[in-house]
Amino acid sequence: MNLPRRPRRLRRTPAMRALVRETRLSADQLVYPLFVCEGTGVRRAVSSMPGVFQLSVDEAVREAAAARADGVGAVLLFGLPAGKDAEGSAAWDPQGPVPRAVRAIVADVPDLMVVTDVCLCEYTEHGHCGLLDGERILNDPTVERLVRSAIVHAEAGAHVVAPSDMMDGRVAAIRQALDGRGFEDVAILSYAVKYCSAFYGPFREAADSAPKFGDRRSHQMDPANSDEALREAALDVEEGADMVMVKPAVPYLDIVSRVKRELRVPTAAYHVSGEYAMLKAAAANGWLDETRAMLETLLSIRRAGADIIVTYYARDAARILRAQTP
Ligand code: PBG
């Protein structure tokens, strides 16, 4: 048969396009990051991330409840402590902003998954992700502190802890410590594949976590590497990670795709601060249709293979998705 092939047949109407659509985005796959600070009634705008705020615990609870009402599946909490020191001891203070926010959100917002970021960079005065010897980040002493932080988050009621530090061996250490204390149901989402990226710039303003000297190349991954990402992710799964994350998202969609295809574990991608800021800046200038660009971006991350997307757009996207469903 020599009839002309006509792929456009399947693109004629909205209903036809919906029928053959391969990838869907849904609000319960979205994770919404929140930056929790001290005080009450605080809602401090982050200048490089329009629409993102540092929130006191009471405001964080309101934001989390609003996100749940929009249909968002989870929040991811970062902390801005009252004080910082060389070892980041505020990271395991049960009265710190993150544990307090966890307790309040778990109590007030049923069905919302609460994930906590586990790292020291928001808590150390030098802004590095671990303990230092001169300018060198010490691995094992840092892991010991990360474990303390993860336990405090679990005790507060976190459903998932998400170590983002990229120290070696921390997933196994956290898993063992959690199980040893009866927290075998607390899941680990490891930032298994975290690149040393320029796209974290705005986050460091939001979380007040910019390193005071040097950079994060000695522990975050070289953007040139792909096989190494598979080794990192496989190691974390072996150590007990329930879910793995690739970060940033869009410049690393090839990695998202490989990790999901080769490991077959729940895979998250973090659409990071710089990716968000780029879209916001272009939209503010009238150069892009923000809603369309946002949905296309999030869809592309799903299409690459991510099951879960961490995004500052979570609430906006959830609201739009809800309005679209009949
Ligand atoms: C480290 C951490 C970072 C981000 C999430 N966890 C920053 C870094 O590694 O410097 C970046 C997230 C973003 O850019 O949105 N705790």
Distance of CA 280 to the CA centre of its chain: 19
- Give pLDDT tens digits for 111-157: 999 999 999 999 999 999 999 999 999 999 999 999 999 999 999 99
Residue 326: pLDDT over 90: no
Ligand 1 contact, 272 CB (< 6 A): yes
Position 310 scores a pLDDT of 98
pLDDT of residue 325: 64
Q: Which of 28-37, 85-94, 201-210, 312-321 has the lowest mean pLDDT?
A: 201-210
- Active-site annotation holds for 84: no
Residue 324 confidence class, pLDDT cut points 50, 70, 90: confident
pLDDT in tens, 72-93: 999 999 999 999 999 999 999 9
Q: Which atom of ligand 1 is nearest to the CA of 271?
A: 15
- Ligand 1 in reach of 273 Cβ (< 6 A): yes
Distances (CA, A) of 81 to 88, 119, 132, 142, 240: 10, 13, 20, 18, 29
Ligand 1: which residue has its CA nearest to atom 5?
164
29-43 pLDDT per residue, tens: 999 999 999 999 999
Instruction: Give the range of the structural domain holding residue 261, as residue numbers without chain letter.
Output: 25-324
Q: In the chain, how many domains are there? A: 1
Task: State the average pLDDT over residues 53-57.
Answer: 98
Specify if 2 maps to a domain: no
The total of other beta-carbon atoms located within 10 Å of residue 163's CB is 28
Which position has the higher pLDDT, 322 or 300? Answer: 300
For ligand 1, atom 10, which residue shows the shortest CA distance? 200
Output the residue whose Cα is nearest ligand 1's atom 12.
Answer: 272
Say yes or no to pLDDT of 273 above 70.
yes
Q: What percent of the chain has pLDDT over 90?
A: 94
200 lines ligand 1 (CB under 6 A): yes
Q: Is 106 exposed, middle or buried (0-12, 13-18, 19+ CB in 10 A)?
A: middle
Domain-embedded: residue 180: yes
Q: For 261-293, give one letter per residue: b (16+ CB within 10 A) or e.
A: eebebbbbbbbbbbbbbbbbeebeeeebebeee
Task: Look at residue 155 and tell me if it is in a domain.
Answer: yes
| 206 Cβ inside 6 Å of ligand 1 | no
pLDDT for res 175: 98
pTM reported for the whole predicted model: 0.97
**Once rounded to an integer, what is the mean pLDDT over residues 13-42?**
97
Catalytic annotation present for 280: no
- Note the pLDDT of residue 208: 87
Q: Which atom of ligand 1 is nearest to the CA of 220?
A: 9
Question: Is 162 inside any structural domain?
Answer: yes
- Determine the residue of 209, 216, 245, 271 to mutate for testing ligand 1's pocket, defined as the one with the most ligand atoms within 8 A of the Cβ atom: 209
Closest to 135 (Cα-Cα) out of 212, 200, 220, 222: 212
Mean pLDDT over all residues of the chain?
A: 96
Distance 203 CA to ligand 1 centre (A): 6
CA nearest to 51, candidates 273, 249, 208: 273
Residue-level pLDDT at 2: 86
Residue 15 lies in a domain: no
Q: At residue 255, does pLDDT exceed 70?
A: yes
- The answer to whether residue 3 is domain-embedded is no
Q: What is the CATH number of the domain that holds 113?
A: 3.20.20.70
3 state DSSP class of 246 = strand
User: Is residue 45 in a domain?
Assistant: yes
In a domain, 11, yes or no: no
